[in-house]
Amino acid sequence: MLVQVILIPLMGPLHLRFPLYNAVSVLDIVRASRAERLATTALPADAFTNPSWQDTEEIALPLAVAPWSGRMRVPLHGVGEPSPDRAAVDDLHRYLLHYSSMQTVLQELEARRRPCDSLLKEALTLERIQNEFLPLLQEYQEFRETVLEEGPATDWLRSRVRVMAKRIVRLPGKRIVVLASADHLPFLSAILEEYLTLLPTPSVRPSRESRERSLLDFAFRNETADPLSLVEQLRQLDAAEARYHEANILLTHDHVHEALAILEESARGDFHHPYFLPGYLLSRLGQLRDLNGDRQGAKRAYRAVLALSYAPPEALEAAREGLVRSFARHSQDTDG
């Protein structure tokens, strides 16, 4: 049976900074790929048994791909192979620094990695990731393996990717889309093409949803030099997440009462999606109630965060802190 595979790169939190390759852009490509099954190297097979899997750095999965997979009944398989020792690379580098003969090697490694890091500071498209970033990353990974050998220094990357590839090959179906963490892609594509037919990743035009996602991502970062314009754009979106970001921007500029009114209204509606919103919105609502002198209302919001089946770690931390002491403007805010 001829099995066709399409590889889609995942860029972790950087999707928030890539307007033309955000989480919904990834989903648009998945849709265009007409997959029978989805697989991801970012998560192990048992990840989906616990809501905490949504803490993954590969935000495109919980933000867009997994909800679509559930709605459309296209199975999503975790094929990841976790690191046997997440501290191994850093530990080994610290150890090698004690040897003058290895310092030159480590400096060369850093120099080889620098072009990758510099490129990631730009707002990349899928095409630039494939044509510019991934070749640089492959050169770096192959050089690192040559000078330090496969093992703790490489986080056993090639060995782990080989295990992931075997799991993909064993999946049923004739057309499989693999959402692969960027670090896995160079070795993964080389291994898979020995066993399966690799198809080019479809190129899609930005959808209305992906353009809206870009605006929401920009608002999430709350880095704008023109907050009034951003608030006006957010008000054009009929989404609870837009109201949350609007309230955050208003809070940043000391419009506490207006921000509170927005979140109070949002909390009476449907704010279950995206996955991070219930925790973030309720923890921020608690903080705004604290600022407004409503301590009991604030505590109710904080307790609601802790009662959720899933909330981001930052929201949980803010809620626990809020139950201990009333939030003040100098307190540490939740992210987003």
Q: Give the model's pLDDT for residue 330.
A: 62
Averaged pLDDT, 172-195: 96
The three-state DSSP-derived secondary structure of the chain is CCCEEEEEEECHHHHHHCCCCCHHHHHHHHHHHCCCEEEECCCCCCHHHCHHHHHCCCCHHHHHHHHHHHHHCCCEEECCCCCCCCCHHHHHHHHHCCCHHHHHHHHHHHHHHHHHHHHCCCCCCHHHHHHHHHHHHHHHHHHHHHHHCCCHHHCCHHHHHHHHHHHHHCCCCCEEEEEEEHHHHHHHHHHHCCCCEEECCCCCCCCHHHHHHHHHHHHHHCCCCCHHHHHHHHCCCCCHHHHHHHHHHHHHCCCHHHHHHHHHHHHCCCCCCCCCHHHHHHHHHHHHHHHCCCHHHHHHHHHHHHHCCCCCHHHHHHHHHHHHCCCCCCCCCCCC
Q: What share of the chain in percent tops pLDDT 90? A: 86
User: Which of these ranges, 110-119, 284-293, 303-312, 327-336, has the smallest mean pLDDT?
Assistant: 327-336
Handedness of CA 84, 87, 90, 94 (dihedral sign): negative
End-to-end CA distance of the chain: 47
Nearest to 188 by CA among 41, 10, 33, 26: 41
Q: What is the CATH number of domain 4-82+157-199?
A: 3.40.50
Nearest to 35 by CA among 179, 191, 196: 179
- The fold of 222-324 is 1.25.40
- 14 phi, psi to nearest 5 deg: -65, -20
Averaged pLDDT, 57-77: 98
Matching fold, domains 4-82+157-199 and 222-324: no
pLDDT band at 332 (very low <50, low <70, confident <90, very high): very low
Residue 46 has pLDDT above 90, yes or no: yes
Residues in the chain: 336
Averaged pLDDT, 40-49: 96
Averaged pLDDT, 156-164: 97
- Which residues are CB-contacts of 226 (< 8 A; sequence separation ≥ 6)? none
What pLDDT digit, counting tens, does each position of 211-231 carry? 999 999 999 999 999 999 999
Q: Give the model's pLDDT for residue 153.
A: 87
The rounded mean pLDDT for the chain is 94
β-strand partners of 198: 5
Residue 107 has pLDDT above 90, yes or no: no
- For 167, 175, 275, the CA distances from 28, given in Å and listed in that order, are 25, 17, 19
Q: Which two tokens stand for residue 237?
A: 């979106």
- For 177, 214, 218, 305, the CA distances from 208, given in Å and listed in that order, are 23, 10, 16, 31
Q: Give the model's pLDDT for residue 1.
A: 59
Domain ranges of the chain: 4-82+157-199, 88-154, 222-324
- For 30, 173, 176, the CA distances from 74, given in Å and listed in that order, are 11, 11, 10
Averaged pLDDT, 182-210: 96
Residue 241, classified by CB atoms within 10 Å of its CB into exposed (0-12), middle (13-18) or buried (19+), is buried
Q: Give the model's pLDDT for residue 116.
A: 97
Averaged pLDDT, 44-54: 96
